[in-house]
Amino acid sequence: MTQRVSRRSLLAMGTALPALAMPTIGRAQGRYKPEYKITVVGNRPIALSESAFVWADLVNQRSEGRLNFKVYPGSSLVGGDQTRELVAIRQGVIDGAVFSTINISPQVREMNIFSLPFLMPNTAAFDALVASEVGAALFRTLAQRDIEPLAWGENGFREISNSKRAIRAPGDLRGLKIRFAAGAIFSEIYTSLGANPVQMSFADLQPALSTGAVDGQENPVNLFLGFRMDTLAQKHLTLWNYCADAGIVAISKQALAAFEPRDREIVVEAAREAGQAGNNAARKGLGANGDRSSLEECARRGVEVIDLTAAEKQAFARATRSVYDKWAGTVGTDLVRQAEAAIARVS
């Protein structure tokens, strides 16, 4: 489910920059930065953060000291505002990132495809989408912004929790204050369901839940567990898979072009493995291969887990269809139709 830069492409980049392809470690170290800054929202155990740390660790080990990737979690390089990461890379302030597509969708409208409500019913649909021409097209779009996308990853499907009541039908959301991270599409989704959407950064989410400034939030299950949201009055968790939080392991084109061919290959191969590590973390214990350990842990913590039926999910899909149709036009109708076709082949 990842996109890779081929060995041939990497070597081609090297031949385009013959003066940079120096063989000795000493010269490489003299030319390379002392540190390459990698940004990611949140921190471990968020799956995207897992990808970032795995990427950095693999690059640092395999380059034998030529490269020093350092992860700055919590979007700390941009003051905690994850929506500024893309701009910071383009400005040269940051060298690489594990992006959430949600956080870059305000700047790259096509990335809103992952936020179309109820487009992807499950992980098979997600995998089919990113492996299709749609995934390749999204990477080409990002590459036009001075950023080299190296691999797809995943933070998980976003489920909804709250402190007030079980959510089983659209009407159950009426009046609830629900936090969302970024993107006008989320405001419109929750407004269409009768909720009161509140945008805020992840850094502000936990204090807002603890004080009751918001009633609920939407995040993947393993993030819910990792950040102990059950201790923040979040006692009702509904599994509805309304959208997926896709991740992209990426680096600035300028940084990648400056590496020797062998180091470019290390960076790209490590990105692929890091994306898969994030996928594994996002999907752990959610029912695949009979492993429901994460859901069982929710129950042990006193959280009511509501696993909606297909018919119940369809009720939410119908209620948000106008938002879907509007944003399909924003994303690009042809791109959305291609995504729907790719998903239909595995449904």
Region 168-189 average pLDDT: 95
User: Is the confidence at residue 8, as pLDDT, over 80?
Assistant: no
User: Is the confidence at residue 212, as pLDDT, over 50?
Assistant: yes
pLDDT tens per residue across span 250-290: 999 999 999 999 999 999 999 999 999 999 999 999 998 89
User: Is the confidence at residue 60, as pLDDT, over 90?
Assistant: yes
pLDDT tens per residue across span 280-320: 999 999 998 899 999 999 999 999 999 999 999 999 999 99
User: How much of the chain exceeds pLDDT 90, in percent?
Assistant: 82
Domains and CATH numbers, the chain: 7-156+246-283 (3.40.190.170), 159-243+291-344 (3.40.190.170)
Region 131-148 average pLDDT: 96
- With a CB cutoff of 8 Å and minimum separation 6, the contacts of 163 are 209, 212, 215, 216, 232, 233, 234, 235, 236
Cis amide linkage into residue 106, ω under 30° from 0: no
Q: How many CB atoms lie within 10 A of CB 171?
A: 11
User: How much of the chain exceeds pLDDT 70, in percent?
Assistant: 91
Name which residue leads in pLDDT, 119 or 83: 119
Query: Are 17 and 257 in contact, with CB atoms under 8 Å apart?
Result: yes
Which among 4, 69, 59 is positioned nearest to 267, based on CA atoms? 59
Average pLDDT over the chain reads 91
Burial of 80 (0-12, 13-18, 19+ CB in 10 A): middle
User: Is the confidence at residue 21, as pLDDT, over 50?
Assistant: no
Give the pLDDT of residue 28. 61
pLDDT tens per residue across span 77-116: 988 888 899 999 999 999 999 999 999 999 999 999 999 9
User: Is the confidence at residue 30, as pLDDT, over 80?
Assistant: no
Burial of 267 (0-12, 13-18, 19+ CB in 10 A): buried
Confidence of residue 17 (pLDDT cuts 50, 70, 90): very low
User: Is the confidence at residue 5, as pLDDT, over 50?
Assistant: no
User: Is the confidence at residue 1, as pLDDT, over 80?
Assistant: no
Give the pLDDT of residue 18. 36
Give the pLDDT of residue 19. 36
